[in-house]
């Protein structure tokens, strides 16, 4: 005989039945998943150390269905977590234990590529790379290129304000998106930005870009396209000291050069990826810089020459310029395939502490905790360090203006006062209480 289920499991099952009953009339049967074996693939994003099975997963196919799902969830006060491709690395799409995961995977149509206005209008579930592929016949492409671009969706890019190697020159998602259409938590259609360069009324586009699914569910995005450069070449420069490589980055920028891409790999990372990609990385180097130029052949020749001078002056021990497109892509392939992974809980814990230390050092030096990858659940504690209680209250107030009941992606991005108080009490970095000047509670 089966043992009786505990009360919590019975409550969960009852809530699940209630939600399924409310959603069944508004989406087709195949778009509604609640059996454990169907929902388990949604239990995490790229931050696989955090897992939670959702109560229900729904895969709407039309905007009408998105609106109806949101309305039904709102009526039942059910948390909703939007999900693109699930490649996020900060737990942004981690399900809520008593919530609905709203997968936008079926919103995968390119609605329009307009070569004259150099824009593309696409559904939110279109993959980042698919936009550039659709624009390629017009000699255009979509510039922001997260390393996950083969899989991640534009809806996820908008939510995370994602970047990539080209963002130094061409900007982040925010700088390449004109208009976002979506739905509020109550299922009302809403638009941010416009097809023109300005917007009537308050420009809330920068508010929704980077809001990690907390303010609205995106269904459609209009992006800017840029002309494909005639040529791109990449310098691979070796350094015998990681600090010299860092200083070389500053020297390139100080020389007034904005490379099309500029990234660093340290020795352990280079060793880890070389076996896999065979890019010909210098395995003796303490650090490698990849430094790219794009434009007309004349512009590239001139800029590569200047960059070689600056890098040599900064102490590069070896430099190689890509001879053709295949070699350029090879240089980048290692950087694009570098992806940390561990299954050891102790190692994971130490990595998290070390990661927090890096973020806090970034804040101390004038940087931010959210370099591309969003806050999600991963960087909640670090938000306590970057922002004062007053600033976090303002963020909660903004969230409440869109979502008063806090149903969209709850528990992420903005840490509560209580969480920060706890973190402030517990957190000691390098034996010292961090930021002794900051107010503590
Ligand atoms: C190998 C690898 C390399 C990566 N490289 C980069 C990189 O170079 N630069 C970079 O910035 N990121 C990078 N990422 C992280 C990740 O790919 C990006 O954050 C990406 O934008 C996530 O898109 P997604 O569709 O997978 O979103 P998901 O992971 O599904 O969701 C991310 C967040 O967006 C929200 N969301 C998703 N879709 C919607 C929607 N339609 N409406 C509202 N909210 C939504 C979710 O709720 C969640 O908070 C990398 C990830 C991997 C695995």
Say how many Å lie between the CA of residue 375 and the centre of ligand 1. Answer: 11
pLDDT of residue 165: 87
Of 67, 79, 80, 84, the residue with max ligand 1 atoms within 8 A of its CB, to mutate for a pocket test, comes to: 84
How crowded is residue 18: how many other Cβ atoms within 10 Å of its Cβ? 14
Q: Are 408 and 185 in contact (CB under 8 A)?
A: yes
Q: Given this model, what pLDDT does residue 342 score?
A: 61
pLDDT value of residue 341: 59
Burial degree of 45 (CB within 10 A; 0-12, 13-18, 19+): buried
* pLDDT beneath 50: ranges in the chain: 1, 431-441
Pocket flag, ligand 1, residue 140 (CB < 6 Å): no
**pLDDT of amino acid 440:** 39
93 alpha carbon – ligand 1 mean position (Å): 8
CA distances, 435 to each of 270, 390, 424, 427, 432 (Å)? 34, 17, 10, 11, 9
- How many whole angstroms from 309 Cα to the centroid of ligand 1? 37
pLDDT score recorded for residue 331: 92
Structure tokens belonging to residue 343: 């299954």
pLDDT for residue 352: 83
């Amino acid at each position: 005989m089966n043992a009786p289920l505990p009360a919590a499991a019975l409550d969960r099952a009852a809530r699940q039945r209630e939600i399924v009953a409310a959603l069944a009339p508004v989406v087709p049967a195949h778009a509604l998943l609640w059996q454990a074996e169907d929902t388990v693939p949604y239990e995490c994003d790229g931050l696989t150390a955090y897992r939670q099975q959702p109560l229900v997963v729904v895969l709407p196919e039309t905007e009408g269905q998105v609106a109806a799902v949101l309305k039904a969830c709102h009526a039942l006060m059910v948390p909703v977590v939007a999900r693109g491709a699930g490649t996020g690395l900060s737990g942004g799409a981690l399900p809520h234990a008593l919530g609905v995961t709203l997968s936008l995977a079926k919103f995968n149509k390119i609605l329009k590529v307009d070569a004259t206005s150099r824009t593309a209008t696409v559904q939110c579930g279109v993959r980042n790379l698919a936009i550039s592929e659709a624009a390629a016949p017009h000699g255009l492409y979509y510039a922001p290129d997260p390393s996950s671009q083969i899989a991640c969706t534009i809806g996820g890019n908008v939510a995370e304000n994602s970047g990539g190697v080209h963002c130094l020159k061409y900007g982040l998602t925010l700088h390449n998106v004109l208009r976002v259409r979506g739905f509020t938590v109550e299922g009302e259609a809403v638009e941010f930005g416009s097809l023109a360069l300005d917007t009537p009324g308050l420009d809330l586009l920068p508010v929704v870009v980077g809001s990690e699914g907390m303010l609205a569910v995106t269904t459609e995005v209009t992006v800017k396209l840029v002309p494909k450069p005639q040529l791109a070449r990449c310098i691979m420069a070796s350094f015998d000291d990681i600090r010299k490589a860092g200083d070389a980055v500053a020297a390139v920028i100080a020389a007034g050069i904005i490379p099309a891409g500029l990234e660093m790999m340290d020795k352990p990372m280079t060793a880890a990826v070389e076996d896999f990609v065979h890019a010909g990385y210098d395995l003796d180097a303490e650090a490698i810089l990849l430094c790219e130029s794009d434009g007309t052949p004349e512009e590239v020749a001139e800029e590569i020459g200047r960059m070689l001078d600056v890098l040599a002056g900064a102490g590069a021990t070896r430099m190689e310029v890509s001879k053709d497109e295949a070699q350029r892509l090879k240089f980048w392939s290692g950087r694009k395939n570098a992806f940390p992974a561990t299954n050891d809980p102790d190692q994971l814990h130490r990595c998290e502490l070390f990661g927090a230390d890096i973020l806090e050092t970034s804040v101390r030096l004038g940087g931010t905790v959210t370099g591309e990858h969003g806050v999600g659940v991963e960087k909640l504690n670090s938000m306590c360090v970057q922002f004062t209680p007053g600033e976090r209250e303002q963020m909660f107030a903004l969230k409440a203006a869109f979502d008063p009941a806090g149903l969209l992606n709850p528990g992420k991005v903005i840490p509560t006062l209580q969480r920060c108080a706890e973190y402030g009490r517990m957190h000691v970095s390098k034996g010292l209480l961090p930021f002794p000047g900051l107010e503590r509670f």
